[in-house]
Amino acid sequence: MKRRYSLILFLVYSLCFGSQLTGCSSNDDPKQPQGAGDPCDADPCEGTLHAVPGTCASPSPTLFSCECVAGHVWDMGTASCPEDLCDPDPCRQIADAVPGSCVMSSTTSFACGCEEGTFWAWAGDTGSCEDPCDSDPCGGIEHAIPGTCDGFGADLFTCGCRRGYLWDGATHACVEDLCDPDPCGSIEDAIPDSCTMPTATSFACGCDSGFYWDATSGTCDDPCNPDPCMIIGHAIGGSCTGLGMDAFTCDCESGYVWDGDSGTCTGPCDSDPCGKIENAVPGSCETVDDGSFTCGCASGFLWNSENGICANDVCEPDPCEAIEHTVPDSCTPVDEDTFACGCEAGLSWESASMSCTTCENYRACLLDCSPLNVYFNPCVVSCMNEYDQGCRCDFDLKSPAYIQCASQCAPNIGQLPRWLCSVNCFFDDCLAGGVP
């Protein structure tokens, strides 16, 4: 019989399940030295039974290994030198086992690779190489064909079945073939010849696009018919997309998102976040189109959407009351620390000086005067925060400021350019802080 190593068997038995394998550890063992530094500094091999002192090697700051005396082998999982069960080789004495294939599956058990057609079968801490087809189990199974056994494990095999039956590995039996004749060809929206048997007593069909198999009813159904989005709060009717039997998604109204776990359109206000925000009013949450929310705030506080908090209201008490030429109750918060006030007619709010001033409207006021009357009544306002009701068009053309300004214009110019020159002169003088 041709020899081969059962590599798959060795991989299975070399994993750490059931018991800790020799040299195998899924996590750092509590018996190993913990913490930073070299675990070999204190030479743990010195006090370990059957370990050779001075042979410590450290693959990491929390693991170490030792060489062991003859007849013993290092086990990383227990940090000890248990007996080497593979020396001498026990596989030489086991029928159909491959000599030299011994591996220790734990500190107290071993396994052998087996010849082709046989598989390792555990018996306590040892075992044997067995052929599950030796006794031809197919000969005693109803509807199975004798002599068709094919083994693939110590107790695992398949049998060929008579017509109309299929092999079921879970029950080691030949069960009725529910897909012969094909039931899918007569089911609406099912794909002919797509039948499969998920269990020994049931079948399933593939379905046309948009339909999914319902194992309970044995039909192909559309989860979007009738449209579930029509009755889900904040969902958009007609937006259903099927994902599977009883599984679908809906598009949601602005400010809401689809939650697949609950099958609903959820919004930021569903959990009443305002009830958890300091100085916010519980139950005052309102959804914003971008999916965020706003809260109503207690007296003396205003909602800050950027930070999602109720910040101090800089307009309470009203700071504009103490500022000259402001309109009562006209305060508007700019941010948490600054504000703006409304000003009386002819004045504008200047944020730098936090006051109502005329300078910002100076050019507009000048332009209110007719160019045809510029030589007799150019429009002038004061730029020293002195209140002027509207524009005054009674400036004296003999004013030194006007003469100085006008002299900068080229001679022999028409009326309109000279008017523009005087306007620009007054405007520039205003910005420079002077008084025309």
Question: CA Rg, the chain, in Å?
Answer: 46
Question: For strand 241-244 and strand 219-221, is the pairing parallel, antiparallel, or unpaired?
Answer: unpaired
Going by the DSSP 8-state scheme, the letter that residue 286 receives in this structure is E
Distance CA 433, CA 385 (A): 11
Place of tokens 């400036």: 395
Instruction: Single out the residue of 86, 118, 423, 270 nearest to residue 431, CA to CA.
Output: 423
Distance CA 361, CA 381 (A): 9
One pLDDT digit (tens) per residue for the chain, 436 residues: 333 333 333 333 333 333 333 333 334 444 444 445 788 988 999 989 999 999 999 888 888 999 999 999 999 889 999 999 999 999 999 999 999 999 998 899 999 999 999 999 998 888 999 999 999 999 999 999 999 999 999 889 999 999 999 999 889 999 999 999 999 999 999 999 999 999 899 999 999 999 999 999 999 999 999 999 999 999 999 999 999 988 999 999 988 899 999 999 999 898 899 999 999 999 999 988 777 899 999 988 888 887 888 888 888 888 898 898 899 888 888 877 788 999 887 677 878 778 887 654 444 444 444 443 333 333 343 333 333 334 444 444 444 544 455 454 444 444 444 444 444 444 444 333 333 3
> What does 343-406 look like in DSSP terms, one character per residue?
B-TT-EEETTTTEEESGGGHHHHHHTS-GGGTTT---B--SSS---SS-B----TT-HHHHHHH
Place of tokens 């959820």: 266
**Residue boundaries of the structural domains of the chain:** 137-176, 273-313, 314-357, 364-383+391-431
Q: Where are the beta strands (DSSP E) in 169-223?
A: 173-176, 196-199, 202-204, 212-214, 219-221
What's the angle, vertex CA 184, arms to CA 182 and CA 186, rounded to 5? 100
Residue 8: its H or E element: helix 7-13
Distance CA 50, CA 73 (A): 9
